[in-house]
Structure 1
Amino acid sequence: MNLALHAAVTHLPGRAPLAELPETDTQTGPERTACRALGIERVAVAPELSAVDLAGLAGRRALAEAGLDADRLDGLILVEHRAPDTLSTSEATRLQHILGADRAQAFSVGGLGCASLVPALLSAAGLLAAGPDTARVLVLHGSKPVTSRRYRHPVTVNGDSGQAVLVSRDGPLRVRDILLETSGEYWELFRVDYRDRPVDQWREECTDPAAHSFRLAVESRKRISSLTARLLERNGVRSREISCWIGQNLSAAALQVLGEALEVELSDACADNLRENGHLGPNDALFNLRTATERGQLPDGGLAVVLTMSPAAAWSAMLVEHGTGSAGTHLL
C-alpha cells in the first residue's frame, strides 16, 4: 500500500474539568472510583455542536491547510456517527453539500467503533487505486457520545471533536501498510437500547463486564501483538527501527498495558491528549500522531506504528513513514 496523508486536522472545542461534568453527581461509588483512575482531567465538550458540525469544521480547516478548494475533491468518506441526528438521511451527502464538494463521490463507512478510521482509509485507498482521475479524498468524522452521559463504565470518558484527513497520492505522511482484524464474538458487548425511550433515558451498557475486563483484554493483547509482528515482518522492519509508537486514548492503564504487551514506549502525546481531552473515538489515533510529529518524535524519514482497537471488536496496526527528504512526497 502506498497511501499518503496530505493533511490531518482535529477540531477541538472547549474543555470542561472531569469533576464538573453533570453526571458525576449521579455516579455510583464504583463508577466514581473507576472514572477518577482513567488518567483524564479535562474533557473536550461542545454541547451546541452536532457530529456533522464538528466534522464540517475540521473539513474546512483541512482544506485550508492543504490550500485546496472543496470542489476539487474527488471523494468524501464519512466515518459514521454511532447515533445520527435523523434516520433515513445521508450525513455523508449533507457534509458534501456543507463543504461544497459537488464533484466528490460521497459515502459513509463504520461499524467498528473507535477502530472505524481504518476501513475509511482502506476505502480511500481503493478509490485512488481504482480511478486514475481520482486524486483527493477527504475522510471525515465527528465524534460525540451516543448518550448524555460521557462516562462509559468501566472504559473511558468520551469527548467531542471533529477530524478531517485529506488522502492523496502524495503528502508528508505515507501509509505503507495497514492490517485489520475483527471478531463477531463481542458484537454487542456495549449497547444502547433506544427504541421507545426518550433520549435522556438512553444508557450505554456493558452487557458482560467479565468478558470485557478479562476475556477481551487477554485477546486484545494477543491480537495487537500478533498484528504488530506481522506488520513489521511483511515490511522488513524491526521494532527498534520504529521512531514513534501511537495508541488510542481510552485510559492511562490501557496505554500502559499496550506498551507492556509490545515492549515499547508509547509517545507521550497519547497520555497528554487523553488527560486534556478524554477519548475522541476514531479521532484519537491521527490526533496523537500529529501531536507526536509536531513534537519532533517522528523525524523526517522516520517510521511510526499506529494501533487501534475497539470492543466491537476490532484491532488494527498501521505503518506510517514521515517524508523522504526535502520533497516529502510519495506516489502510488
Structure 2
Amino acid sequence: MIAVSAAACYLPAASVPVADLLAGLDPGERETCAALGIERVPADDTLGPTELAARAGRRALAEAGLDPSDIDVVLTVESRAPDTLVSSEATRLQAVLGADRAMAFTVGGLGCASLTPALLAARGLLCADPGLANVLILHGSKPATPHRYRHPVTVNGDSGAALVITRDGPVRVRDILLETNGAYADLFRVHYRDRIAAQWREECADPPTYSFRLAVETRNRLRSLTAALLTRNGLGPDDIACYLTQNLSQAAFQSWAEALGVPIAKPCLANLAQHGHLGPNDLVLNLGAAIETGHLAPGDRAVLLNISPAAAWSALLVETGAPAGGAHHL
C-alpha cells in the first residue's frame, strides 16, 4: 500500500465560457458540445504544462511540510504536447522545483488515465527501495491543440496537479487495477508534422467506434474492474462511501452510474460544470473535493475510476483517515 500525504491542484484564475467556443463549431458539434454539462473551463495561454505542474508541485510540497531537497523521485506524467521535443520534461521540472537530489523520469502513454501508471511506478519504487521516502507525482494538463473542444467527448481546461506519495499518510491507496486494449491506440490523434500549430486539430478516426463499441466495452470494463477490486480486498458494495471518476460529460456520468448500479459522487458533477476535463488531474481534483465537502469522512473508502480512449481503464481503492491498528504497508 502507498499513501497520499499531500495533494494540490493549480487552476488558472482566468476561464473561458463554453458558449464562447461554440461559434467555431459546425451545427452538429455545437449541439453536442452544448449538451456536455460544462459551463466554463480554466484557461491561461501564457502557462505551459511545465509551469502548471510546477505551481501545483510547490503547493503540494508546502502542504506536506517538505523542502524540495526532501523529494527522492520526481515522477512526471507526460504532456500530450510538451513545450519542446527531444528535451526532458521530467528533469526540467526537477530543476524548476529545486529537487536537485531527486531522480526524475516520466510515465504516461494512456492519456487521461496516465495517473494510474504513475501511482504503480511510485508503489514499485517505495516497495523496492527502503532508502526512498517521498515521491512527487506531477502533471500539467494542457490541450494538445488550440481547439479545447474534443468532439464528441468533452471540453479541455488547463490545470496542474501534484501528489506527494509516501508509505503512510491521510489517504491510503489500498489497491490499483489497470487494463488496456491496443485496438483503440489511435482512435484519437493529432497530425502535426506537416502543419503549423495553429492548424493542429484532434480528430476521432471513427466516431461510431467511440460512441458505441468503446462505450459498451467501457461499461463492461468498469463493471468487471470494480467487482474484481472489491472481491480481492474482501469488500462489498456497502463498504464503499462514494465513487469518483474523471470529468467528461453528464452523459458519461449517467452511463457509468448505470453500469455500476451506483451514483457518481456529486463533487464530480460540480467540477465538470466549472472546470471541464482536466486530463489525468480530474481524479486529484475530485478526490480533494470529496474530502473537503464531507462526501468522504475519516475511515471511508472510495473507488476512483479512470478511462482513456487510448484505450485504458483503471480502478483505485482509497481509504481516508488514520489507519486502524497503525500503519500497514506492502
State whether TM-score is above 0.5. Answer: yes
Matches within 5 A, 1:187-206: 187-206=185-204
SS of the residue corresponding to residue 266 of structure 1 reads coil
In structure 2, list runs of 5 or more residues that go unmatched.
none
Structure 2 match to 1:77: 75
SS of the residue corresponding to residue 131 of structure 2 reads coil
| Count, aligned residues | 329
Pairwise CA distance, 1:19: 1.2
Structure 2 match to 1:208: 206
More deviation in 137-146 or 10-19? 10-19
User: Is the 1:4–1:330 contact (alpha carbons within 8 Å) kept by the matching residues of 2?
Assistant: no
Q: Percent of counterpart pairs with the same letter? A: 60
RMSD after superposition? 1.3
SS of the residue corresponding to residue 179 of structure 2 reads strand
Structure 2 match to 1:321: 319
SS of the residue corresponding to residue 149 of structure 1 reads coil
Matches within 5 A, 1:175-324: 175-324=173-322
Pairwise CA distance, 1:286: 1.8
Pairwise CA distance, 1:297: 1.0
Which amino acid is 1:226 matched to? S
In the alignment, the residues of structure 2 paired with residue 196 and residue 300 of structure 1 have an alpha-carbon distance, to the nearest angstrom, of 53
Q: Which of 35, 43, 46 pairs up with 1:45?
A: 43
Pairwise CA distance, 1:330: 5.0
CA pair 245-328 structure 1, distance change in 2 beyond 3 A: farther
In structure 1, list runs of 5 or more residues that go unmatched.
none
Normalization by structure 2: what TM-score? Answer: 0.98
Deviations 1:298-330 (A, max 9, x none): 111110000000000000000001023699865
Structure 2 match to 1:11: 10
Pairwise CA distance, 1:16: 2.0
User: Is the 2:7–2:63 contact (alpha carbons within 8 Å) kept by the matching residues of 1?
Assistant: no
Which amino acid is 2:242 matched to? C
In the alignment, the residues of structure 2 paired with residue 142 and residue 330 of structure 1 have an alpha-carbon distance, to the nearest angstrom, of 31
Deviations 1:110-132 (A, max 9, x none): 00000000000000111111111
SS of the residue corresponding to residue 235 of structure 2 reads coil
Which amino acid is 2:11 matched to? L
Say if 2:20 is the partner of 1:20: yes
In the alignment, the residues of structure 1 paired with residue 301 and residue 24 of structure 2 have an alpha-carbon distance, to the nearest angstrom, of 45
Normalization by structure 1: what TM-score? Answer: 0.97
In the alignment, the residues of structure 1 paired with residue 140 and residue 296 of structure 2 have an alpha-carbon distance, to the nearest angstrom, of 26
Which amino acid is 1:42 matched to? R
Which amino acid is 1:47 matched to? D
Which amino acid is 2:16 matched to? A
In the alignment, the residues of structure 2 paired with residue 286 and residue 221 of structure 1 have an alpha-carbon distance, to the nearest angstrom, of 22
SS of the residue corresponding to residue 48 of structure 1 reads coil
